[in-house]
Every structure is written in C-alpha cells, then in structure tokens.
Amino acid sequence: MWLPHRFKHCSACGAAVEYRVPADDNRERATCTACASIHYQNPINVVGTLPVWGEGADAQVLLCKRAIEPRYGLWTLPAGFLELGETVAEGAARETDEEAGAQIELGPLYCLLNVVKVGQIHLFYRARLLSTEFAPGPETLEARLFREEEVPWDQLAFRTIRETLQRFFEDRRLGRPFALHSADIA
C-alpha cells in the first residue's frame, strides 16, 4: 500500500521498525522490533477557503499565486495542512490570513474532496470577502480576484482547486443553493 513515508526507526526508542500486521488488526503497521511500539499512519487534512467578492454574475474569486514548491507560480485557493490545536474552520481561516492576508467572513463547508492516492482530505469553506485589499504572506507571490472568464484554468496548482472552482461557478450559474459537495479525486 502507498504510504506518505516509511518509518525506518521507532520514534519512541530509535530501534529499527518492521511493517507487520499486529494482533487484532488487519493492516501492516510500523512496529518496533525492540519496544513493540506501533506507529500508525493516517490521512491528513488540507483545509482552506473559497473567498468570494460580489454576488451573482459579478462574483469574483480570490486566488493566490504560489511562492513555494510544489507548483511554484501556479494558482491556488488559500489552503494548507490542518494543525493540532485548531478546528477545521479555524485552520481554513488561518490559512486564508497567512497566504492572502484577506479579511473574510467564514461561510459553511462547501467541498470535501478525497485525494486517496496521496492520503489527503481537502476541505474548503465558502467565505465572503469583506475587502479587496490583500496582504500576501511569504508563501504567495500575488493574491488577486478573478471573474469566471478570467480564471487561469490551465495554471491551477491542484485538481481540488479546479473541482472547487468548477462547482462554485456551476452552482452560481444554475442558481442552485450552495450545498456541500463531496468528490473523489482519482
């Protein structure tokens, strides 16, 4: 099975680990050959927002041009890894502040996207921009608003960004209420 990384040593005692199926389990886990500690590896959450300025056909979305790898120079919604000590919504708001310096009112959860092949769950909240002044942080080259026809579809950093933007513009165009979307990214 794919793992984000393979443990070679035990994080408790430093001895070598082996991948084996523990008793009462059905999956291989990194198991210490000395102290028997088991080290589980699980999917990680990426949290962010879809910040929108204006409504209806005038709606514009905020995208950030990445100043870091991976995908340096490509456009993303503000998002990053959820940290210990915060809720999903708090993490999404924090990333929006850190990456774009944008003032927002956080809305409801809009997309839950499974990216199984890299062990990630991407969660995007809708957000209403309270200002068009941005203050991009060190991970962002530029933060700016895009109308639907301006979105750089061939310069987006991740599939989950495309999926989220497509769903937003489609919901808006069809006048649908903005309910939660779930999807799996192959």
Q: According to CB under 8 A, which one of 19, 59, 71, 89 is a site residue for a second copy?
A: 89
Q: 61: which 2 tokens?
A: 């979305």
Q: Does 101 bind a second copy (CB under 8 A)?
A: no
Q: According to CB under 8 A, which one of 119, 147, 159, 171 is a site residue for a second copy?
A: 119
What DSSP character marks residue 156? B
Q: Bridge partners of 104?
A: 129
Q: According to CB under 8 A, which one of 88, 128, 146, 162 is a site residue for a second copy?
A: 88
Q: According to CB under 8 A, which one of 21, 36, 73, 83 is a site residue for a second copy?
A: 83
Q: Does 154 bind a second copy (CB under 8 A)?
A: no
Asked if residue 153 lies in contact with residue 115, where contact means CB atoms within 8 angstroms, the answer is no
DSSP string, 39-57: E----EEEEEEEEEES-GG
Exposure class string for 124-137: b at 16+ Cβ within 10 A, else e: bbbbebeeeebebb
Q: According to CB under 8 A, which one of 21, 36, 38, 116 is a site residue for a second copy?
A: 116
Q: According to CB under 8 A, which one of 19, 41, 71, 128 is a site residue for a second copy?
A: 41
Nearer to a second copy, 9 or 159 (CB): 9
Nearer to a second copy, 131 or 180 (CB): 180
Asked if residue 136 lies in contact with residue 157, where contact means CB atoms within 8 angstroms, the answer is no
Cα separation, 51 vs 107, whole angstroms? 9
Judged by the rule CB under 8 A, the positions of this chain that interact with a second copy are 1-5, 7-17, 24, 27, 30, 39-45, 81-89, 108-109, 112, 114, 116, 119, 121, 138, 179-180, 182, 184
